[in-house]
Amino acid sequence: MAGGGTAGHVNPLLATADRIREREPDAEVLVLGTAEGLEARLVPLRGYELVTVPRLPFPRRPDADALRFPSRWRASVDTVRDIIRERGVDAVVGFGGYVAAPAYAAAHREGLPLVIHEANARPGIANRYGALRTRYVATVFPGTRIRHGRVVGLPLRREIETLDRFVARPEALTEFGLAEGRPTLLVTGGSLGARRLNEGISGAVDAVLAAGWQVLHITGDRSPVEDPGLPGYGILAYCDRMDLALAAADLAVSRAGSATVSELAALGIPAVFVPYAVGNGEQALNARESVDAGGALLVPDSEFDADWVRGPFLRLLEDPALVADMAARMAATGRRDGADRLVDLVQEALRAAPASPSATAGADG
């Protein structure tokens, strides 16, 4: 399993590894990552062996790093090939990130089955490279433009995949001090927070509460919000029980990372997505399926402020029939079986592989 750097790569990797271990208890799962990424902490914590290689980003400008890249690339690929041979690896499954591309090259040259999972609607450079070397390419969203892509969904954390929101809701309300019989708005910008989301909601929370809603606001560690002490407005810097937060939610305001979009869709929670304004625009693309289906709204980061909350958003909150319709439409786009479908794809690749992968080892095509 190759991938790392961010939660967007590590979490689906771990969910897939867990499903492999459940379905094949004797299988040995080896994770290839870096010493600096999130995987360095999460992979050993989950009980998997982590093998690290140096971080090797693709050069984006003609400088000294670009000149050194070819030799570093060859060394990285050779290191992974040595690992493959020494550990008797049968297949490589990649999730993108810095370590993925050398792993893809190594798998191809060793004649091993290669499976790629692309979580975002706009593929990363490593996965685009890898997709040229295999026909087993999994995507989360139907509109992802990558060679040989087929939709399998996102491998979800087990606690999300199996969550029954209605059964868990009483525990969730108790956990966060929320009231029964009142709809709940979940606001979250991720672990680091999102300034526009935090300021927009906190600046108009009185109007949200007056509309009959209660709010669970997860602000993130870097975007603290002053607690005004209003009844029905709960503020947390960090939430380690996101399954319960989702169980409590009737509507969400959030960024549009692949995991967030996938989890909300799988659970049928309608959303207002405010894509991260910096980057290549992938978050807006991630939200497209949900928005096109009528399960979510898309609001540019620059437009999401207290005035928008008091205007268009308040009209949504005051229309429970519309929120309920959005929930049904959102659920229609959801996929809970991403982990199983990705493992099925791995098994398909293994079945199609030559009887003896070592017979083609060393091929440099």
pLDDT in tens, 5-54: 888 889 999 999 999 999 999 999 999 999 888 899 999 999 999 999 98
**Structural domains of the chain in order of their starting residue, each with its CATH number:** 7-156+337-360 (3.40.50.2000), 159-332 (3.40.50.2000)
Burial class (CB within 10 angstroms; exposed 0-12, middle 13-18, buried 19+) of 237: middle
pLDDT of residue 192: 53
pTM of the predicted model over 0.85: yes
Q: Give the range among 169-178, 182-191, 195-204, 290-299 with minimum mean pLDDT.
A: 182-191
Does residue 359 surpass a pLDDT of 60? no
Q: What phi, psi does 136 have (nearest 5°)?
A: -105, 85
> What is the maximal distance between C-alpha atoms in the chain?
70
* Three-class secondary structure of residue 123 per DSSP: coil
Q: Which of 198, 204, 243, 205 is nearest to 219 (CA)?
A: 198
Residue 28: per-residue pLDDT: 96
pLDDT tens digit sequence for 276-289: 887 778 999 999 99
> Average pLDDT over the chain, rounded to whole?
92
Q: Which pLDDT score is estimated for 223? A: 64
Q: Locate tokens 């956990």: which residue? A: 175
What is the share, in percent, of the chain residues with pLDDT greater than 70? 95
Please compute the mean of the pLDDT values over residues 298-326 and round it to a whole number: 97
Q: Would you give the end-to-end CA distance of the chain in angstroms?
A: 22
